[in-house]
Structure 1
Amino acid sequence: MTEVTRVPIQPVAKGSLTKIWLGVIIAILLGAGLAWAAVPKGFSVDTLVAGEGPNPQEGDMVFVRYKGMLASTGEVFDESQDIPLPVQGVFPEGSPFPVEKDATIEGFYLGLQQMQKGGKYELYIPAEMAYGDAPPPGAPIPPGADLKFEVEVVDFMTREMFDRNLSILQRAMQSQMGAGGPEGPGPEAAPAN
C-alpha cells in the first residue's frame, strides 16, 4: 500500500485575500497602461502657453517659429529660421505658412487653425496626416513616421495684407538695388559719360 503524506493547508490570513486581489487589479491596470502607451496617438494640439485673440482662418498667412521632430525618437528634422529683411516692420519674425489645404501637410494645416497669436503649442501628427509612407526625397523622415512639432505663433495676417506688404518689400529692395544697395552696382560700376 502506498502512503500519502498529508500537508496541512494553513488558513489564509485575514486581509491577505484582499491584498492578492488588489495586486491582480494593479497588474491588469499596469498592463493596460503599457498597452495604451504603445498605441500610436491620434492628431492633437496641446497648448503649452495660451495665445490671445482669434484663430487663423483659411487663406491667412501665419508666422511661426517651429521645431519638427520624429515622434518616436525626438530627433529634429526641421527648424524654422528667422529671415533678416531689409525693411523692418513689413513682416513679423518667423516663417510664413499659408493656411491653405495642400500648402503644407494636413496635420500642420489643421493645427494652425487651432492656434492663437502669442501661443506656444505641441502638435502631434500621425503619419497618415503627415507624409505617410512617402516622405520627401532626401528628408531625414522614415516612411510611416509620426511627427511632433513645437510651434510658437508670432502673428498672422490676411492674404491681402501679406500681398500688400510683399509688394512694399519688393519696391524697397528694388530701390536699394538701384541706389547702389547690397546687390546693386556701386559707383565704380557706373558707366562713364
Structure 2
Amino acid sequence: MTELQKPEIEFPEGPAPTMLEIEDIVVGDGPEAAKGATVDVHYLGVDYETGDEFDSSWSRGESVNFPLAMLVKGWQLGIPGMRVGGRRKLVVPPALAYGEAGAHPLAGRTLIFVIDLLGTK
C-alpha cells in the first residue's frame, strides 16, 4: 500500500444533502469491513458549510481503532463494504451525525469525513 497522506477536501457547492452520501475515492483490495466491525482508520472531518476542520487523526499523528457501533450513524452505515486500503468520503447529514439539535457543538451540522481504512476485525 502506498504511503497515505492527509486528504484535502474540496469545498462543496450547493445545499447540504439530506441523505448520507458515500463516495469511494480509492477502492481498497484488502478485507471488507463488516457491519459491527472494529476498524482502524485515519480520518479527517470538516464542516460542510464552513469547511472548518473539527477533527482529524492525521493531526494527532496516529490512526485510531473504533468499534463501528460506538460511532455516529453515518459511519455505521457508510463504512461497511469498504475494503482495507480504501479511501472513502462520507457526507453525513445531522440526523446521522450528532443530531438536528442538542448540546453537542456539531449538532445541526452536515459533516464531511474522508476515511482511510487501514484494518478491520
TM-score (normalizing by structure 2): 0.77
Residue aligning to 1:145: 109
Contact 1:45-1:114 at 8 Å conserved across structures: no
Instruction: Please list every run of 5 or more consecutive structure 1 residues that lacks an aligned counterpart in the other structure.
Output: 1-36, 84-93, 158-193
Pair 1:73–1:60, CA change in 2 (3 A):
same
Residue aligning to 2:66: 97
Contact 1:61-1:156 at 8 Å conserved across structures: yes
Paired letter, 2:67: P
Pair 1:135–1:116, CA change in 2 (3 A):
farther
Pair 1:135–1:64, CA change in 2 (3 A):
farther
CA distance in 1, matches of 2:79, 2:27: 14
Residues paired across the two proteins, number: 106
Paired letter, 1:155: G
Q: Which has the larger radius of gyration?
A: 1
Pair 1:134–1:119, CA change in 2 (3 A):
same
1:137-167 Cα offsets, whole Å, 9 max, x none, are xx4x2x310000011011112xxxxxxxxxx
**Structure with the largest fraction of strand:** 2
Mapping 1:74-85, distance limit 5 Å: 74-80=51-57, 81-83=60-62
Instruction: Please list every run of 5 or more consecutive structure 2 residues that lacks an aligned counterpart in the other structure.
Output: 1-13
Contact 1:57-1:99 at 8 Å conserved across structures: no
Q: Identify the match of residue 55 of structure 1 among 11, 32, 36.
A: 32
Paired letter, 1:106: K
Report the 3-state secondary structure (helix = DSSP H, G, I; strand = E; otherwise coil) of the residue aligned with 2:89. Answer: strand
CA offset at residue 97 of structure 1? 1.2
1:53-100 Cα offsets, whole Å, 9 max, x none, are 4421234211000011111111000111345xxxxxxxxxx2001122
Greater RCO, CA 8 A, separation 6+: 2
CA distance in 1, matches of 2:80, 2:48: 21
Residue aligning to 1:14: none
**Structure with the largest fraction of helix:** 1
Residue aligning to 1:42: 19
Residue aligning to 1:178: none
Identity of matched residues, % = 30
Matched, 1:114 2:81: yes
CA distance in 1, matches of 2:115, 2:84: 11
Report the 3-state secondary structure (helix = DSSP H, G, I; strand = E; otherwise coil) of the residue aligned with 1:38. Answer: coil
CA offset at residue 39 of structure 1? 5.7
